[in-house]
Amino acid sequence: MTDLAADHCVPAHPDHLCMPADARKRARHRLSIARGHLESIVKMLDKEDVYCIDVLRQIKAVQGALSGAGDVVLRGHLESHVSTAAERGDTLEIVEELMEALRYR
């Protein structure tokens, strides 16, 4: 995605708002961290002398990075979409959308 595309949001669904650019950037960073941890786990498991606790520790790190990415996305949604719902006049719709988002947390 080019910088120009990042600045100009064209939603995939016309009735949805786009994720804020800062939230996308921060979530992507956290997911990259999770990917790195996950790749290290796979490499660890290729070794016969891998210690179970070390694997569990790395799995927990991946879970933490994924949870952090989810927190970033949810916060971005709350700050940019939920907090402005009354201004747009779509309060009921945003409440339903928020309830759906919370199902994934």
Domain range annotation of the chain: 19-103
5 pLDDT band (50/70/90 cuts)?
very low
Give the pLDDT score at 26.
94
Give the pLDDT score at 15.
61
| CATH superfamily of the domain spanning 19-103 | Metal-sensitive repressor, helix protomer (1.20.58.1000)
Give the pLDDT score at 31.
95
> Mean of the pLDDT values across residues 7-27?
75
Residue among 63, 83, 85 nearest 75 (CA): 83
What tokens does 1 get? Answer: 């995605």
**CA pair distance 66, 36, nearest whole angstrom:** 12
Residue type, 96: E
Give the pLDDT score at 94.
82
For 43, counting Cβ atoms within 10 Å of its Cβ (0-12 exposed, 13-18 middle, 19+ buried), the class is exposed
> Mean of the pLDDT values across residues 77-101?
83
For the cut 80, the answer to whether the pLDDT of residue 13 exceeds it is: no
Q: Which residue has the higher pLDDT, 49 or 8?
A: 49
